[in-house]
Amino acid sequence: MIVSTSDEWRQTHVESWHREYEEEVHIYSCMEDVPKDIREKTDVLITFGNDLTCENVNDFSSLRWVQLLSAGLEDLPFKELKEKQLTITNARGVHSRSMREYAVGAMLHFEKHFHRFLQLKDEKIWERETLVGELVDRKVLIFGTGTIGCDMAEAASFFGMTVDGVNTNGCLKDPFERVYTTEEGLNRLSDYDYVISVLPYTPLTQNIFSHDILERLHPDAVFMNLGRGGVVDEQALADLLRKQKMKGAVLDVFVEEPLPRDHSFWDLPNLLLTPHMSAKSNHYMTRCMNILLDNYQRYRKNELQNMKNLVDLTKYY
């Protein structure tokens, strides 16, 4: 049994592996460093996934299971992975604690006018006339009711917000008050103070926040995209922000990353822009290890169907 990883592990993570398992893990800092003979003999591959190509995946002739260290699948060589009938598990759930903090922090950034106060401080101006807001009684609509969306919803509820969700079939999920189908949700966009997308990028979600849809946002609404850039018509969003047809936006993901220097987003004052950081955290790899350690036990018992975070490549999640 050969276990390989194309991502360097910290010493604490090597130790956490060896507290449970005797097997050696072949650790490489990138895919290029994994030697041909190790690729051929690897049963279990641990990777962020974006280093897998339709070419190199064929080097792994003994591969049975891929544990991804990310949640997004869009960079994977779908066709080849399906043909090889591999078991694939991902890191979903690992991002949700960081992302709910990011979402709450970003909403509070707008409610408490922190950006305005930073600017007033630069000008040494004490201004108390403009009333700041509160999350209590605000309404948020979250597109995506997986672990991330649910965890975010729980935090929003804690602060007394009205929290509704959107998923493919409109199936109610705790802790959402209401869950709409995608079409219903898009039709009700104007009812919300905050609209947050944590949608993955799939053929079904591509560009669903089109110009016509974004125009439905309330003039006092903030739109937040923490999922994948490709679900939004970026040019339309930039236009609406420039014309102040909405209060603001929070964008952590973009169609092209790094965001090109000539992109119009950089110049918009009502936009909080972060470089795909919302899921980042010093706890990230530790949480990934917990999934891996758990899954590896089931793998050894040949209980592949009971693994955590199994990915269905036909559904793209």
Residues forming the site for a copy of itself (CB under 8 A) = 97-98, 101-102, 104-106, 108-109, 111-115, 117-118, 120-121, 124, 126-128, 131-137, 155, 158-160, 257-259, 261, 266, 271-277, 280-283
Q: For residues 80 and 101, which CB has a smaller minimum distance to a copy of itself in the complex?
A: 101
- CB-based contacts of 131: which residues, under 8 Å, 6+ apart? none
Tell the smallest beta-carbon distance from residue 28 to a copy of itself (Å).
21
Question: In terms of DSSP bridges, do strands 162-166 and 178-180 run parallel, antiparallel, or are they unpaired?
Answer: parallel
Complex with a copy of itself: residue 112 or 178, whichever CB lies closer: 112
Q: Is 56 in contact with 36 (CB distance < 8 Å)?
A: no
Q: Look up residue 310 and give its DSSP letter.
A: B
Residue closer to a copy of itself by CB (options 25, 99) is 99
Token pair for residue 147?
Answer: 């672990």
CB of 205 to a copy of itself, least distance (A): 24
Fill in the DSSP letter of residue 134. Answer: -
In the complex with a copy of itself, which residue's Cβ is closer, 117 or 219?
A: 117
**All residues at 6 or more sequence positions from 282 whose CB lies less than 8 Å from its CB, including other chains:** none
Helix (H) or strand (E) holding 269, with range, is none
Which is nearer to a copy of itself, 112 or 216 (by Cβ)?
112
To a copy of itself, the closest distance from the beta carbon of 227 in angstroms equals 17
Nearer to a copy of itself, 117 or 184 (CB): 117
In the complex, what is the shortest distance from the CB of residue 150 to a copy of itself, in angstroms, rounded to a whole number? 15
Nearer CB in complex with a copy of itself: 42/70: 70
- Burial track 268-304 (b if 16+ CB lie within 10 A, e otherwise): beebbeeebebbebeebbebbbebbeebbebbeeeee
Distance in Å, CB of 124 to a copy of itself, minimum: 4
Q: Which two tokens stand for residue 69?
A: 């260290």
Closer to a copy of itself by Cβ: residue 210 or 286: 286
Closest approach, Cβ 151 to a copy of itself, in A, equals: 11
Q: Least distance (Å) from a copy of itself to the CB of residue 216?
A: 25
Closest CA relative to residue 143, chosen from 202, 81, 98 = 202
Residue that is written with structure tokens 């101006």 in the block: 125
CB 166 within 8 A of CB 112: no
CB of 311 to a copy of itself, least distance (A): 25
134 vs 183, which CB is nearer to a copy of itself? 134
Separation of alpha carbons 248 and 55, rounded Å = 43
Q: Which residue has the tokens 């790094």?
A: 258
Give 46-91 as a DSSP string. Answer: EE-STT--TTGGGG-TT--EEEESSS--TTS-HHHHHHTT-EEE--
Q: Which amino acid is at 106?
A: A
Least distance in Å: CB of 119 to a copy of itself?
9
